[in-house]
Amino acid sequence: MYKLVKPLFFQFQPEQAHHLVTSGLKRFHKWGGGGLLKVSFAYQHPDLEREVFGLKFKNPVGLAAGFDKNAQYVKEMASLGFGFIEIGTVTPLPQPGNEKPRMFRLVKDEALINRMGFNNQGAGVAAERLRHLKKRDGLIIGGNIGKNKSTPNDQAVNDYVKCFDALFDVVDYFVVNVSSPNTPGLRELQEKEPLTHILRTLQARNRKNDLSRPILLKIAPDLSNSQLDDIVDIVKETGIAGVIATNTTLSREGLESSKTLKEQAGGLSGKPLRLRATEVIRYLAEKSGNAFPIIGVGGIHSPEDALEKLKAGASLMQLYSGFIYEGPQLIRRICKALIHKKQDL
Ligand SMILES: Cc1cc2nc3c(=O)[nH]c(=O)nc-3n(C[C@H](O)[C@H](O)[C@H](O)COP(=O)(O)O)c2cc1C
**Separation of CA 324 and ligand 1 centre (Å):** 12
Percent share of the chain, pLDDT over 90? 86
Q: Is the CB of 103 under 6 A from ligand 1?
A: yes
To 10 degrees, the CA torsion angle through 166, 216, 51, 331?
90
**Residue 182 Cβ < 6 Å to ligand 1:** no
95 lines ligand 1 (CB under 6 A): no
Q: What is the pLDDT of residue 343?
A: 47
CATH code assigned to 2-344: 3.20.20.70
pLDDT tens digits along 75-94: 999 999 999 999 999 999 99
Residues designated catalytic: 180
The CA 325 to ligand 1 mean position distance, Å, reads: 14
pLDDT of 345 > 80? The answer is no
Ligand 1 within 6 A of 232 CB?
no
E strands, 91-139, where?
A: 103-106, 111-114
51 SS3 class: strand
Mean confidence (pLDDT) of the chain: 95
pLDDT tens readout for residues 114-152: 999 999 999 999 999 999 997 788 899 999 999 999 999
- Tell me if residue 128 falls in helix, strand or coil: helix
Taking the domains of the chain in order of start, what are their residue ranges? 2-344
333 Cβ contact list (under 8 Å, min separation 6): 302, 303
- The residues, any chain, with a CB within 8 Å of residue 188's CB and separated by 6 or more, are 153, 194
Q: Could you tell me where the beta strands, DSSP code E, fall in 27-170?
A: 50-52, 55-57, 61-63, 84-90, 103-106, 111-114, 140-145
What is the pTM (predicted TM-score) of this model?
Answer: 0.97
How far apart CA 239 and CA 199 sit, in angstroms, is 9
What does the buried/exposed string (b/e) look like for 285-322 if buried means 16 or more CB atoms within 10 Å of the residue's CB? beebeeebbbbbbbbbbbbebbbbbbbbbbbbbbbbbb
Q: What is the tens place of the pLDDT at every residue in 261-271?
A: 999 999 999 99
Distance 208 CA to ligand 1 centre (A): 31
Compute how many other C-beta atoms are within 10 angstroms of the C-beta atom of residue 215: 25
